[in-house]
């Protein structure tokens, strides 16, 4: 009985000691952490904490004291923010810091390199912009919602604004005055394919106007963000021009495919070339591969200016063309002849009219051999 009494007294005094040692630092006397933290554009907000007199924001490790539940960021950057509520009540201590809240703030800038390239407005785009408003002679086109206009020869006043749902939008740029002339140089980039099983002379570029009388063609390699021209190719031996089209010769294509033929461990090889003529400048990327099924050697991705038909040039081997599928396309909307698939500009314009927010249209070209279908995807970009 005495042992029980002693044990009871020890438990009683232990309870008294624990009760006396309780302090405002315990959870029941601590302010709650701020909640509902969010950022809109460049303004951070959070819910008010009852009993708080102010708050500490830890922004990328640097603490500042604020008295409101909002904070405005004034500079671009990636931020990691933790928030602590400071007590304004005697019986409560400060809250713990919240977990880190990470976000990015951007003040988008309007482009400063506005011009016209191949009869369309051109400028460097910011990957954080959702779209751009392009004002041409007082009419505004949105790059996501509207079809970009093809500029006929004439004088244009152009200004551009970066748009975004997440970040701060730019102002309109100052007006850029541009004169589009019939003799403007053509500047293009192309991605070609060529199989070691193919045996045709590869067409590189066809001019729509006459007057091609000067050609330089170089092997090139990419260094950082630019191309370095290296070996000059020989006209009539490595390449030639016929009817305004520049071709790689058969002998040069045999030379290019030899390395892949000799090295069975290589699946493909990618080469780069630069063409300079009196009419334009062209960057060529050529993938040498081992395909033995139909492929578009001028690339399965093409762009539209909504004025010209879009063509895909096919190596079909011994496959037979069957049809094209996608977006209710009918026979009247395209033509396939001698390996050339042409999708008519009117159909592309109408289809993008229904799919204004689409960045690309996807079609499937169907070929057949020995009763078995082979499907090849192609894409048309704005």
Q: What CATH number has the domain bearing residue 209? A: 2.60.40
Report residue 114 as tokens. 């506005």
Nearest to 190 by CA among 94, 76, 127, 272: 272
Which residue has better confidence, 300 or 185?
Answer: 300
pLDDT tens-place string over residues 111-149: 999 998 878 899 999 999 999 999 999 999 998 888 778
Q: How many CB atoms lie within 10 A of CB 31?
A: 21
Domain assignment present for residue 5? The answer is no
Tell me the two tokens of residue 250.
């058969």
Looking at 271, 292, 313, which one is the last position of a domain? 292
pLDDT per position as a tens digit, 147-181:
778 788 899 999 999 999 999 999 999 999 999 88
Would the pLDDT of 6 be above 80? no
Domain boundary among 105, 138, 160: 105
> Rounded to whole angstroms, how far apart are CA atoms 259 and 237?
19
- 191 in Cβ contact with 301 (< 8 Å): yes
Contact 202, 246 (CB under 8 A): no
Q: Which of 242, 244, 256, 245 has its CA nearest to residue 199?
A: 256
CATH number of the CATH domain containing 335: 2.60.40.10
For the cut 90, the answer to whether the pLDDT of residue 208 exceeds it is no
pLDDT at 31: 95
pLDDT digits (tens, 9 = 90+) for 365-376: 999 999 999 999
pLDDT category of residue 11 using cuts at 50, 70 and 90 = very low
**Residues in the chain, how many?**
382
* Cα–Cα distance for residue pair 339/237, rounded to 1 Å: 26
Count of beta carbons in the 10 Å neighbourhood of residue 314 = 23
pLDDT for residue 1 is more than 60? no
- Residue 216 belongs to what domain range? 185-292
Q: What is the widest separation between alpha-carbon atoms in the chain?
A: 119
pLDDT the model gives residue 125: 94
| N-term to C-term CA, the chain | 93
Tally of domains within the chain: 4
| Residue 156 and residue 175 share a domain | yes
The reported pLDDT for the residue numbered 41 is: 96
On whether both 288 and 199 belong to a single domain, the answer is yes
Residue 370 corresponds to which tokens in the numbers above? 């020995």
Average pLDDT, the chain: 90
* Predicted confidence (pLDDT) per residue in 256-314, tens digit: 999 899 998 889 999 999 999 888 899 999 999 999 999 999 999 999 989 999 999 99
Distance CA 56, CA 310 (A): 59
Whole-number pLDDT of residue 370: 96
Q: Report pLDDT digits (tens) over 90-113.
A: 889 999 999 999 999 999 999 999
Give the pLDDT score at 148.
78
3-state SS string over the chain?
A: CHHHHHHHHHHHHHHHHHHHHCCCCCHHHECCCCCCCEEECCEEECCCCCCEEEEEEEECCEEEEECCCEEECCCCEEEEEEEEEEECCCCCECCCCCCCEEEEECECCCCCCCEEECCEEECCCCCCCCEEEEEECCEEEECCCCCCCCCCCEEEEEEEEEECCCCECCCCCCCEEEEECCCCCEEEEEEEEEECCCCCCCEEEECCCCCCCCEEEEEEEEECCEEEEEEECCECCCEEEECCEEEECHHHHHHHHHHHHHCCCCCCEEEEEEEEECCEEEEEEEEEECCCCCEECCCCEEECCCCCCEEEEEECCCCEEEEEECCCCCHHHEEEECCEEEECHHHHHHHHHHCCCCCEEEEEEEEEECCEEEEEEEEEEC
Let me know if residue 288 belongs to a domain.
yes
Write down the pTM of the prediction.
0.66
pLDDT in tens, 52-70: 999 999 999 999 999 999 9
Q: What is residue 214's predicted lDDT score, i.e. its pLDDT?
A: 85
Q: Is the pLDDT of residue 197 over 80?
A: yes
Q: Within this chain, do residues 199 and 272 fall inside the same structural domain, yes or no?
A: yes
Token code pair at residue 87: 């007590």
Distance CA 287, CA 256 (A): 10
| Residues 205 and 230 placed together within one structural domain of the fold | yes
- Pick from 39, 48, 99: which is nearest to 73 by CA? 39
- Confidence at 15, pLDDT banded by 50, 70, 90: very low
Interatomic CA distance for residues 44 and 137, integer angstroms? 39
pLDDT at 4: 45
Confidence of residue 13 (pLDDT cuts 50, 70, 90): very low
pLDDT band of 25, cuts 50, 70, 90: very low
Per-residue pLDDT at 117: 81
C-alpha dist (Å) from residue 304 to 190, 265, 343, 380 = 14, 37, 10, 7
Asked if residue 329 is part of any domain, the answer here is: yes
Mean pLDDT for the stretch of residues 313-321: 97
Two structure tokens written together for 62: 């640097």
pLDDT at 18 over 70: no
Answer yes or no: do 279 and 227 share one domain.
yes
Residue, of 84 and 90, whose pLDDT is higher: 84
For residues 364 and 325, give the distance between their C-alpha atoms in angstroms, rounded to a whole number: 5
pLDDT at residue 7 is higher than 60: no
Q: Which whole number is the average pLDDT over 207-214?
A: 84
Between 269 and 227, the higher pLDDT residue: 269
pLDDT score recorded for residue 273: 97
Examine residue 13 and state whether it is found in any structural domain, yes or no.
no
Query: Are residues 288 and 198 both part of a single domain?
Result: yes
% of the chain at pLDDT higher than 90: 75
Do 277 and 326 share a domain, yes or no? Answer: no
Q: Which residue has the higher pLDDT, 183 or 73?
A: 73
pLDDT value of position 28: 57
- Do residue 259 and residue 208 come from a single domain? yes
Confidence class for position 190, pLDDT limits 50, 70, 90: very high
């Amino acid at each position: 009985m005495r042992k029980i009494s002693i044990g009871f007294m020890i438990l009683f005094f232990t309870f008294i000691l624990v009760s006396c040692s309780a302090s405002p630092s315990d959870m029941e006397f601590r302010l709650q952490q701020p909640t509902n933290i969010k950022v809109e554009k460049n303004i951070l907000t959070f819910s008010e904490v009852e009993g708080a007199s102010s708050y500490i924001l830890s922004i990328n490790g640097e603490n500042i004291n604020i008295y409101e539940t909002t904070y405005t960021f004034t500079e671009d950057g990636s931020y990691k923010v933790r928030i602590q509520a400071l007590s304004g009540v005697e019986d409560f201590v400060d809250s713990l810091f919240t977990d880190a809240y990470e976000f990015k703030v951007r003040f988008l800038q309007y482009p400063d390199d506005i011009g016209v390239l191949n009869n369309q407005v051109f400028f460097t785009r910011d990957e954080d912009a959702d779209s751009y408003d392009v004002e041409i002679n007082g009419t505004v086109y949105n790059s996501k919602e509207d079809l970009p206009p093809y500029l006929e020869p004439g004088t244009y006043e152009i200004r551009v604004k970066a748009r975004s749902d997440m970040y701060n939008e730019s102002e309109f740029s100052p007006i850029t005055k541009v004169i589009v002339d019939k003799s403007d140089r053509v500047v293009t980039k192309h991605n070609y394919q060529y199989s070691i099983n193919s045996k045709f002379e590869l067409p590189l570029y066809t001019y729509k106007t006459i007057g091609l009388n000067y050609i330089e063609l170089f092997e090139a390699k990419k260094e950082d963000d630019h191309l370095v021209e290296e070996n000059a190719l020989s006209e009539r031996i490595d390449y030639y021009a016929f009817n305004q089209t520049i071709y790689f010769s058969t002998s040069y294509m045999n030379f290019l495919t030899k390395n892949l033929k000799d090295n069975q461990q290589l699946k493909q090889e990618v080469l780069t070339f630069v063409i300079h003529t009196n009419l334009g400048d062209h960057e060529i990327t050529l993938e040498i591969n081992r395909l033995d099924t139909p492929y578009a050697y001028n690339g399965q991705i093409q762009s539209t200016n909504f004025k010209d038909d879009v063509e895909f040039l096919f190596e079909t081997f011994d496959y037979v063309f069957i049809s094209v599928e996608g977006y209710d396309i009918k026979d009247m909307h395209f033509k396939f002849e001698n390996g050339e698939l042409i999708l008519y500009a009117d159909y592309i314009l109408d289809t993008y009219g229904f799919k204004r927010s689409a960045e690309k249209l996807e079609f499937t070209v169907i070929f057949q051999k020995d009763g078995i279908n082979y499907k090849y995807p192609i894409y048309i970009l704005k």
